[in-house]
Copies of this chain bind each other. A is one copy, B any other.
Amino acid sequence: MVRWEPDAAGRLRRAALELFAERGVEATTVAAIAERAGVTERTFFRYFRDKREVLFGDQEGFAGLFVEGVRAAAPDAAPLEAVAAGLRSASDFFTDDARDGARLRSTVIDAHPGLRERELLKMADVGDRMAAALRERGVAEPGASLAAKSGIAVFHAAFAAWVAPGQTRGLADLTEDGLRELRAIAR
């Protein structure tokens, strides 16, 4: 096992992703995850409520990256500029040393329709929260939702490109490309 993170939570996350990729999520037990990570089951439950939380844990923290970015944008920033600030805030969080883990996670999720749905709902929730943050800034509907949802489409595409085999460019870079592409398309 490659110990790409020194802490127990990181080892557990890596072990779970490897086992999910090898055996599928259903066939993987918490006992097997703990064993591969070299910790007890009790330690697993100190970090995660259940095995799926390894894939979808901390939705609040994840969505918060986007929302804080929107809130921190210049007061006179246009709606899509504020959304871009949200995407940048999230992109900066996913540094290149997180790419291998994200790649493995994407492989697992893409292989399970139920997990892909949950991922879709998770991103839709982030979009709803960014739209709410835009309305707090005085952006009216439907503009707020359109800007937020278009931004989510950009992030989704950039993330898929970031974890694609052989990709070496950073997520922040790919996100900027996507924002440029969105502007070009809507022109």
Contacts and interface: CB of A to CB of B under 8 A. Distances in A.
Given A145-B157, A178-B142, A150 B79 contact: no
A12 to B, nearest CB: 29
A39 interface: no
Interface string A11-26: 0000000000000000
Interface of A is mostly: helix
A90 B79 CA distance: 28
Q: Specify how many copies of this chain sit in the oligomer.
A: 2
A153 B80 CA distance: 14
Contacts of A9: none
Interface in A100-149: 117, 120-121, 124, 141-143, 145-147, 149
Interface string A143-181: 101110110111011100100000000000000011001
Contact of A153 (B121, B146, B158, B185): B146
Nearest to A118: B117
A98 interface: no
A79 to B, nearest CB: 5
A186 interface: yes
A79 B182 CA distance: 11
B161 A142 contact: yes
20 contacts: A117-B121, A120-B120, A120-B124, A141-B157, A142-B158, A142-B161, A142-B177, A146-B150, A146-B153, A146-B154, A146-B157, A147-B185, A149-B149, A149-B152, A150-B150, A150-B182, A182-B186, A183-B187, A186-B186, A187-B187
